[in-house]
Amino acid sequence: MSIRKIIIDTDPGQDDAVAILLALASPEDLDVLGVVAVAGNVPLSLTQRNARIVCELAGKTDVPVFAGCDKPLKHTLVTAEHVHGKTGLDGPQLDDPTMPLQDQHGVDFIIDTLRSQPSGTVTLCPLGPLTNIATAFQRAPDIIERVQEIVIMGGGFFEGGNITPAAEFNIYVDPEAADIVFRAGAPLVVMPLDVTHKALTTPAHVAAFRGMDTNVGHMVAAWTDFFERFDKEKYGSEGAPLHDPCVIAYLIQPDLFAGRHINVEIETQSDLTRGMTVADWWGVSGRAPNALFMRDVDADAFFGLLAERLSRLA
C-alpha cells in the first residue's frame, strides 16, 4: 500500500496527542504534511501550543503546525476543560514548545495543499470540530473533489452523545461546520462514539505504555491516567476510550474496523438535539449513503498497533 499524505486537523486533547504521535511514528504508512489546530477541547491559543508540544515530544519538529479558526461558524465556543484540564494536556508538567508556529493561517494551508498536491492524494483527518475543514470548503469549493478521503472522529448513534444526550462533543461544538462537511460529497469515514467506546484503555494497556520506559511512553501513560478519571466516573468503565487514535489506526490498518456505508445527517436546528449525528443505520430514510460509519473495532489489535508504533519514539 502506498504512503498516504495526510493533514491532521486537531484540538489537542490527550487523545488527540496520542493520535498525532501514532501518525508521526508511522512514516512507512503516513506522510504528515502538516498539523492544523482548531478551537475545541480548549481555545486555539492552547490547541496550537499543544500541537507543537506533541510534535516536539515525537522529535518531529520539521512537521509544520498552523493555527486555524478560533471559534465556530455561528455559535459561541464550547470547550471541554472538565475532561482534558485547563491546558488540554493536563497531567504531567509540560514545557512551552520552542518550534515555531507557521505564519500562514491553517485554512489557507489546507486550501493550498489540496490545490498543489495531485488530486485525490491528500486525506484530511479531523480530530476536533470541523470548523477549519468547512471554512476551507466554503472559501474554495474546487478543493472538495481533490480530497482523497476525510476520516473523522465525531458523532454517535447507538451510544448517543457525550456532551448532550444526543450530541458528541466535536459535532456539537460546530454543527453547522459538520453539516457542510457531511453534505460536501467528499468520501467520508466516521469514527463515532459507537466504535471509540469499544477502544477502552485497561490497566494492562497503560502499563504497556509506561513499560516502554521512554519519554513518549511515560507521557502517554500519564496523559491516560489523567484522561481516564472522567470517563471512569461517568460510565463506570474500567478505562477510557481513546477516541482520536482510531482515525489514524484506520489509515494504517483499516481491517481493524467494521461498519456500514449509510446516510448521516447533522441536526442544526433543534435546541434539544443540536449536533446530533442522525445515522440511518437501518436504511429507513431512503436518503443516499454519504459516509462509512464505523461500529466495531478489534480493540486488542488496536492497542497492539498503538503500542508497537509508539515504542519507536524516544
66-83 confidence digits (pLDDT tens): 999 999 999 999 999 999
Report pLDDT for 234.
74
Cβ contacts of 267 within 8 Å, gap of 6 or more: 166, 167, 175, 273, 274, 275, 276, 278
State mean pLDDT over 175-180: 98
Catalytic (active-site) positions: 243
**Does residue 277 contact residue 192 with C-beta atoms inside 8 Å?**
yes
Report pLDDT for 93.
83
Integer Cα distance of 123 and 107 in angstroms: 15
Integer Cα distance of 184 and 298 in angstroms: 30
User: Which DSSP state fits 144?
Assistant: G
Integer Cα distance of 292 and 188 in angstroms: 6
**Does residue 169 contact residue 146 with C-beta atoms inside 8 Å?**
no
98-149 confidence digits (pLDDT tens): 999 999 999 999 999 999 999 999 999 999 999 999 999 999 999 999 999 9
Report pLDDT for 232.
72
pTM comes to 0.97
**Where do the domains of the chain lie?**
4-310
Query: Which residue, chain included where needed, has cell 482548531?
Result: 38
Choose the CATH number for 4-310 among 3.40.1400.10, 3.90.245.10, 3.40.50.720, 3.90.180.10: 3.90.245.10
- For the cut 70, the answer to whether the pLDDT of residue 187 exceeds it is yes
H helices present in the chain, as ranges:
14-24, 44-57, 81-84, 106-116, 131-139, 169-173, 175-183, 193-196, 203-211, 215-235, 245-252, 299-310
Integer Cα distance of 159 and 155 in angstroms: 9
- The backbone torsions φ and ψ at residue 258, rounded to the nearest 5 degrees and listed phi first, read -140, 140
Confidence of residue 1 (pLDDT cuts 50, 70, 90): low
How far does Cα 156 stand from its chain's mean position? 14
SS3 10: strand
- For the cut 90, the answer to whether the pLDDT of residue 226 exceeds it is no
What are the Cα distances from residue 309, in Å, to 46, 64, 107, 154, 207?
A: 26, 21, 29, 24, 16
**Does residue 104 contact residue 35 with C-beta atoms inside 8 Å?**
no
State mean pLDDT over 175-183: 98
Integer Cα distance of 54 and 216 in angstroms: 9
State mean pLDDT over 241-247: 96
Integer-rounded Cα Rg, in Å, for the chain is: 18
